[in-house]
A and B are shown apart, each in its own frame.
Chain A
Amino acid sequence: MEPLTWFGAYAGGFGGLLAIALTIAVICGLCAMLLSLTSSSTKGSFSLFNGIAVVVLLIVGFSYVYATVTGGAGGGMDSGSLLKILGLLLGFALFAAMLGYFMNTFFDDPAATMGYVFTLALKAIGLLIAAWLVWTLLFAGAGFRDYVAGLDPDAMPDADTLAAEKRTAIMQGRGIIASIFMRFMPVWISIAVLFTLSALYKRKLGLYGKLYDNIIGMIGFGLVMFWVFTAFYSGFFDMIATHGALDQASGMKNKLPGTPLRGAEAAEYPYYLLGGDNLARDVFSRMVMGSGIVIMIAPLATLFAFMVGITLGLPAGYFSGPALRSLKSYGAIATAVVFGLAALATLITSGFMNFLLFAVVLAIMLLLLFRTSLDTALSFLANLILAFPVILLFYLLVTPEIVETGLPQYMAVVLFAFPLIFVGVLLHSRLRTQPAKNKLWLTVWLVPMFLIYMSTINTADSKIDFWPLDFFDIPGGILVVFVSVVFVNSPTVFRIVRGLALDINSRDYVAAAQTRGEGPWYIMLWEILPNARGPLIVDFCLRIGYTTILLGTLGFFGLGLPPESPDWGSTINDGRKLLMIYAHPALPPAFALLSLVLGLNLLADGLREESLKD
């Protein structure tokens, strides 16, 4: 079988047109940008910015000259080609200057004209691509019809051969890109349905609906939903990926994109669409499967970080004055109990000497809490964590040796308790005056959460293994990665929430609630928090992107998840070793990660813009 080409059988004609449209778009876009720097002001100032462009180009050219003359670049350029480049650069600058002058003379608003041509060219490019895709998908089978027509009618091959032949012919006609497009078909349909429905009812959908007025936000949301749906369909229905994440096929090691599978059975997908990696696994399938891990961990970890940050940040911003006032207050008792438990845990796990030291430190901290405000104490802790370089922290927390000590599990005990505390306080502060309803709601929420909490932290054959009702075990690697990502993210969330709380504290409605006699937690969770939701939602989107980057970083250093895991960071790490010879295994996960994070950032930008509008 022939390997697949990138664009299939019908690329020729469309390619030429596309190149023309692309050239027009690039030239017009550049001119529009140069011109828009100057429009609406006096015409003379154009020379300044053209000057900047020329200087930049000259600097680039000069650095090449320098590199060649000093010979430092070793294998730099020879003087002839250098002159060519310099000539090109100067020619371009001259062209831009002349064009600008010409446009300024003949058009009222040259930037707008150029911009208009630019958008037209962009639209043409979009239409061309769509037309090519439709054409390719419609007529991909033409090769097969030719094949059948050329067959000897007396010696027809059997049905199986024909079916196999048909499949290969169609794939050949489609090429790699159209085939990948077809594999993602469920995702396209879901996105189309979601966008149509949302756009139809956007006036009823609040902030989410307003997103559909914002083109940047829509693009971002589309990118995010693309990966969400991909993760969903590949994770639950096993749909998009063509092979298993760990399946190895003989002879497919480091093979280029579009290589046919040797001796593929009828049920198997006959090609490696994006090639094979250094262990002969399918790069495309691994990229698709990798989305599942990211989409599962990143939003959830961010949510947990927000719970921690909100639960600690609100009181830090709200309360002023010493953190603890008298020994008999609830706060003092709770702190003493927590400290006592921590000291006890030290005594049991790491010996008397350490216990003594720890007890002294805790005692000093307790005394300090009577002097300093909660804000100072918590901010110091947050800054402490933030002063750590993230990667050092990961190396200290995520190695197998540390996992062996059970430290991540203990951290999970603390960090995973925050959602419980948050929901508990949230409900109790609201329903305090209606004891019956309060009890009901607290039971309905807290009992299932507590069970999930216990099953999460309790893992068979580890340091915490006593709870009988263990419904599920989280694979070790994922728990460790999860905990460390939450730990790294929560101080930043804490700082944001604290800042917002400090700001909102002085509003009238807070004073009104205080005058009504509402409790502090009611004010924090039901007055301050809802009014801080705008910035928090935006930051939530951004932070999911940042968490995705962190997960990739962990994978890049080979920490946490097992090395054969298909998550993007690990795959990039796998692929970078042979990067200069075989680039294709590393690039798809890299672009996948890039597009997801970019989508989240654009979404956050759109949300910010829309939420500022009212």
Chain B
Amino acid sequence: MFETLHRYRYHYLMLLPGLILGGMFVFYPIFAACYYAMHDWSGFNSDKVFVGLGNFVKLFNDPIFWDAFRRSLIFLLGTVPLQMTVSLVLAVLLNNQLLKMSTWFRTMIFLPVVTPVAVIGIIWTFLLSPFNGPVNGLLLDLGLISRPVDFLGSTDTVMPSVIGVYVWKWLGITMIYWLAALQTVPDDVYDSAKLDRCRGAKLVWYIILPIVLPFAIAITLISAVGALNVFPLIMSMTNGGPFFASEVMEIFIYRTAFATGDGSIPRLGYAAAAGVFFGFVVLSLTIAQAIATRRARSGAREISS
């Protein structure tokens, strides 16, 4: 064993920086979160009491936690299908090299992706403002509404509004993924389809989609995990309000950990338990995706061959 270690010492040396950084910024935080999750601790004093799974038991009986969890799922289900569909349509259109200004369109659609989330959040807060906001101004001018809509201040409209902004922000990256997937479809498949007079929706549905299905699953997963990480957008737009209406899991964890409300004590242990649970949910999604991709890939191979 020592001989093997010695023989590959440079290989191991090369691994070391990655291991150290991964240990510091990935593994340690995971273990620390699990450790804190088993303590009743505010996070800022020395009174740390071991409670075992007590925080998890409390969590599962906390209706506000489940409401936040439900909102995270609603956000995921509200964004991912919309983002996937719209970006696929755009990708199919922009994949046509003969389309004039396709590069310009791609750049424009991609621009929000590279803009910082907080900036997007603040700008959209102004755009959606019921007082002098251009969106309300347009709707009023068109006669579609008689009184400005408080998009971010009404419990009915806040989630659809944030979902809309999120989809707009990340549409470009999903479109790029689709474009990359579409470019893996071999040219001879298009030629054969042409000979068989298979065009338009038929071509997309029966030929292209089965081939890009493994990519679709990967893109879905990336989008789904992204939709569960919306902290900066929601913080900059609504702070989780009004009255919890946009409080998704991450905002719940943050609020519990820092407790900025009147008379509230931070509960880092409790927040860590929520974080660990949420982490498991995301992990489960990833595993499900890995299995689904493997199955889809074998199916796609059959079609392309």
- Specify whether A and B are partners: no
